[in-house]
Structure 1
Amino acid sequence: MEYLLRGVAEVVSVEELERKLTESYRTGRPLRVKLGIDPTARELTLGHTVPLRKLKAFQELGHQAVLIIGDYTAMVGDPTGRNEARPQLSHEETRANAATYVEQAAKVGLDISRTEIRYNSEWLAPMTFADVVRLASKMTVARMLEREDFSKRYAEGRPIFIHEFFYPLMQGTDSVAVRADVELGGIDQKFNLLVGRDLQRDAGQDPQVCLMTPIIEGIDGVEKMSKSLGNYIGLSHPPEEMYGRTMAIPDHLIIRYFVHFTEVPMERIREMEAAMAAGANPRDFKMALAREIVRLYHGEEAARAAEEHFRTVFQRREIPEDLPEVTLAPGNYPLVRLLVEAGLAPSNSEARRLIQQGGVAVDGEKATDPLAEVQVRDGMVLRAGKRRFCRVRVAP
């Protein structure tokens, strides 16, 4: 139980979980443990790995992991924590976003060959309008308005759209469809998970246990880790970027990240927490954290290289030797265009933003004028942000 409950925020209920685990052991029937992820974007973050690691933990104990890709729920968009409706996605968009989810989920160590992968369009798409009406009859508006996000929007006069009410019912229907014994999710998903229990009772099933993980702050230390806020560490980030972003977290998140984003034993984590409380330099433990996170997703060699890159660029203030290179025609370039063509900014607007924020340097000299022109020369080094470098080669 200690292994399963590491870092858990709440369980509804611990007694039911103990009962289900005992019964599973007695009968030899593995528990069906469900986790749903909506493909609203193409990249998973470390925040997504918190419940994924719980799914892996149950799988390692012999239970059946059920990973639901919410290609239909993503079209509605989870209203949890939102002060306005999410933009609606088409089914084609959600399926395109989901294309790499299984591969990314495997990075946490989940054995995909033993994982039941389901798309909730399997049971939601065939529903008739009569089915939807029957489903809607299971919930009252008053109950929906108990949700903090809905009640806040209602009190502030912000619109709540009818389709948003369907989200918890759709998620709960997932639990009925796969006959979940346990559902995993963030603590902000509590309402949705409890709806699943209600719908299972109505369907004559034993209600699922709801095991909820905490919401982890992003690298800004304030807001929930989110791609839209830019305060995230992505599973597809290259090693140097992953390491550097981890080093950007405030000191008070070091232990929290160790608990939820790594598999370092709790005994060792408590030792580190005590050492910092006694005056040890948090930087050393933050570097150990960054190295461990990179190791988990890119391997030991990449972790060592990322740490050396960080030491070279930030601690010794040197330029790395193995810079990526771009070949350009000779001549003068607007600085904004130069950054885009060098691959250091995805767009002109992003390049202007970087320049205005003081995040651009040409051969070590900060460039702050977005209207500036630069004459390229062979060997010129460009920097954008803290971690992205590029060496210019001039075409003959």
Structure 2
Amino acid sequence: MSDEPSVSVPYFPITDEVYAALTVARRGCEELLIEDEFIQKLAKSAQTRKPLRIKLGLDPTAPDIHIGHTVVLNKMRQFQDLGHTIIFLIGDFTSLIGDPSGRNQTRPPLTREQIELNAKTYLTQAALVLDCEKTEIRYNSEWSMPLGADGMIGLASRYTVARMLERDDFTKRFQNRIPISIHEFLYPLMQGYDSVALQSDLEVGGTDQKFNLLMGRELQRQYGQEPQCILTMPLLEGLDGVNKMSKSKNNYIGISEKPSEIFAKLMSISDTLMWRYIELLSFCSLDEIADFQKQVRAGYNPRILKVLFAQEIVSRFHSIADAQRALEDFNLRARGGVPNNITEIQLGGAPLPVKQLLKQAGLVPSTSEALRNIEQSGVKIDGTTIIDKGLKLEAGVYIIQVGKRRFVRVILQA
């Protein structure tokens, strides 16, 4: 979607305060459009002492979020710390449509029950990053439902099919003769209308949301409002350092995972990827990060910084005490020991084949995965690596380890 020239607005002086806020906005971002307009919005806010209205919309399409999702939440927290009004918008209406962004097929819509359940989880998890007492929490069903058929037809008349097909994912599906449902065209229109309803000054989103964010600018113009600026944040790479973080690719870190799991996964990232994680996820200042980088170039061990970063993240989603225990568990595992407070389960059926035990203990999703781990010397029982795929365990108590991080104490009974 092409953008029109900047609108004419009164000029406000650009102070050191404005430049400092702009530095915060730029941190880790992919694009800031239109930057000159946003500088003037910041300058106007600084002079009038009226906070900007900054919007983030999330559709509650899943019951849980991973740290990749918190990249945009962190950016909102930075703006919140600058004193601006943060709007955490839950897309309970847009979830009924389904966001087509990045999709090569129609997304199945969720039920109202699923959406309401997921929304509660999102609020709980967002509170781990945002100061919810200072956050404006809204649901887009507030203004979308009252539109009715007349309002929806009027909104749809404001945009053409030709311009909608400029969207990359729609274009590819159209060229490849992959079906596009009419209701999918409504999604960017409704997300854009959210900006009109909320009179937002800036909307934050992932790079995959650029088309939808620009729609907000377009509709605000048509409704006689000063158009919002948009800020896109990159999609965080997963633990593999290649693909974006995703549960389906099993390269994610869930913020509701156990502290020891979060800590160990963060320690597993490469020293190069560490800097990107720190820039996008840490609350350290840019000056502090630059100083860390200078120290590493001078010979400082990056592992020490990785430990500090991992503790920061665990503390944010759990507690300082949990972060300290996670560090102790990690060091214990590194020395070949067993972490404290591991999960304990009871199983019956002894003698039980080891492949069945691993599956029933929840350490692997299938017996074939259990055999693969044994073949790769990735299974230990009481500290001894298992190589016999046909091994059967008699009744007893065992410490089972799969890989570097998965431990369980099994009480096996006949």
TM (normalized to structure 1)?
Answer: 0.90
Secondary structure class of the residue paired with 1:117? strand
Evaluate the alpha carbon distance shift between residue 353 and residue 129 of structure 1 in structure 2; reply closer, same or farther with a 3 A threshold: farther
- CA displacement at 1:306 relative to structure 2: 0.9
Structure 1 residues 118-147: Cα deviation after superposition (integer angstroms, max 9, x where no partner): 111222233323322222222222212222
State how far apart, in whole Å, the 2-side matches of 1:136 and 1:330 are: 62
Report the CA distance between 1:351 and its aligned residue.
Answer: 5.1
Q: Judging changes above 3 Å, is the alpha-carbon distance between structure 1 residues 264 and 125 closer, same or farther for their aligned structure 2 residues?
A: same
Letter in 1 for 2:393: Q
Once the two structures are TM-superposed, the CA of residue 368 in structure 1 deviates from its matched residue by: 7.0
Alignment CA distance shift 1:377-1:210 (3 Å): same
Closer, same or farther in 2 for the Cα pair 1:197/1:321, shift >3 Å? closer
Question: How far apart are residue 263 of structure 1 and its match?
Answer: 1.0
Go from structure 1 to structure 2 and tell me whether the alpha carbon gap of 1:277 and 1:85 turns closer, same or farther (over 3 Å shift): farther
Distance 1:287 1:60 in 2: 26
Per the alignment, residue 149 of structure 2 pairs with: 129
Match of 2:352, SS? strand
In structure 2, the residue corresponding to 1:44 is in which secondary structure? Answer: coil
- Give, in whole Å, the separation in 2 of the partners of 1:279 and 1:77: 50
Contact 2:237–2:245 (CA under 8 A) maintained in structure 1: yes
1:361 match: 380
Tell me the distance in 2 between the aligned counterparts of 1:160 and 1:260: 34
Superposed CA offset, 1:278-322 (max 9, x none):
565543433332222212222222112112211211x21222254
* Counterpart-to-counterpart distance in 2, 1:354 and 1:152: 40
Q: Which residue of 1 aligns with 2:56?
A: 35
For 1:144 and 1:327, how far apart are their aligned partners in 2?
Answer: 56
Distance 1:384 1:179, change over 3 A: same
- What are the equivalent positions in structure 2 for 1:125-204 lying under 5 Å apart? 125-204=145-224
Write the letter of the residue equivalent to 1:28.
R
Among 101, 112, 121, the residue aligned to 1:100: 121
Distance in 1 (CA, whole Å) between partners of 2:222 and 2:412 is 70
After TM superposition, list the pairs within 5 Å mapping 1:292-331 onto structure 2.
292-313=312-333, 315-329=334-348, 331=350
* Residue 13 of structure 2: aligned partner: none
2:39 aligns to what? 18
* 2:396 maps to 1:378: yes
* Deviation larger for 31-40 or 361-370: 361-370
Residue 369 to residue 146, structure 1, CA distance change in 2 (3 Å): farther
Aligned partners of 1:116 and 1:45: how far apart in 2? Answer: 23
Residue 27 of structure 1: how far off its partner (Å) = 2.9
> Equivalent residue of 2:255, what SS?
coil
Closer/same/farther in 2, CA of residues 386 and 165 from structure 1, 3 Å limit: farther
Question: Quick check: 1:289 aligned with 2:305?
Answer: no
Identity %: 45
Q: Write out per-residue CA displacement over residues 37-57 of structure 1, whole angstroms, 9 at most, x where no aligned residue.
A: 111111121122111122222
1:205-240 deviation per Cα after TM superposition (whole angstroms, max 9, x unaligned): 111111221221111111111222221111111111
Aligned equivalents of 1:353, 1:75: Cα separation in 2: 36
The alpha-carbon distance between structure 1 residues 158 and 330, as it changes in their structure 2 partners (threshold 3 A), is closer
Pick from 88, 91, 96 the counterpart of residue 67 of structure 1: 88
2: CA distance between counterparts of 1:308 and 1:361?
21
* Separation (CA, whole Å) in 2 of partners of 1:4 and 1:152: 32
Match of 2:29 in 1: 8
What is the rounded CA distance, in whole Å, between the counterparts of 1:57 and 1:102 in structure 2? Answer: 18
- After TM superposition, the structure 1 stretch with the greater mean CA deviation from structure 2, 195-204 or 124-133, is 124-133
Structure 1 equivalent of residue 108 of structure 2: 87
Asked whether the 8 Å contact 1:83–1:153 carries over to 2, the reply is: yes
**Residues 327 and 394 of structure 1 are in contact (CA less than 8 Å); yes or no, is this contact kept in structure 2?**
yes
Cα distance change of structure 1 residues 136 and 334 upon mapping to structure 2, 3 Å threshold: farther
Number of aligned positions between the proteins: 390
Relative to structure 1, the CA distance from residue 321 to residue 244 in structure 2 (aligned partners, 3 Å threshold; closer, same or farther) is closer
Inter-partner Cα distance in structure 2 for 1:369 and 1:157: 51
* Maintained 8 Å contact 1:376/1:392: no
Shift of residue 369, structure 1, vs aligned partner? 7.6
Cα gap change, 1:282 to 1:360, in 2 (>3 Å): same
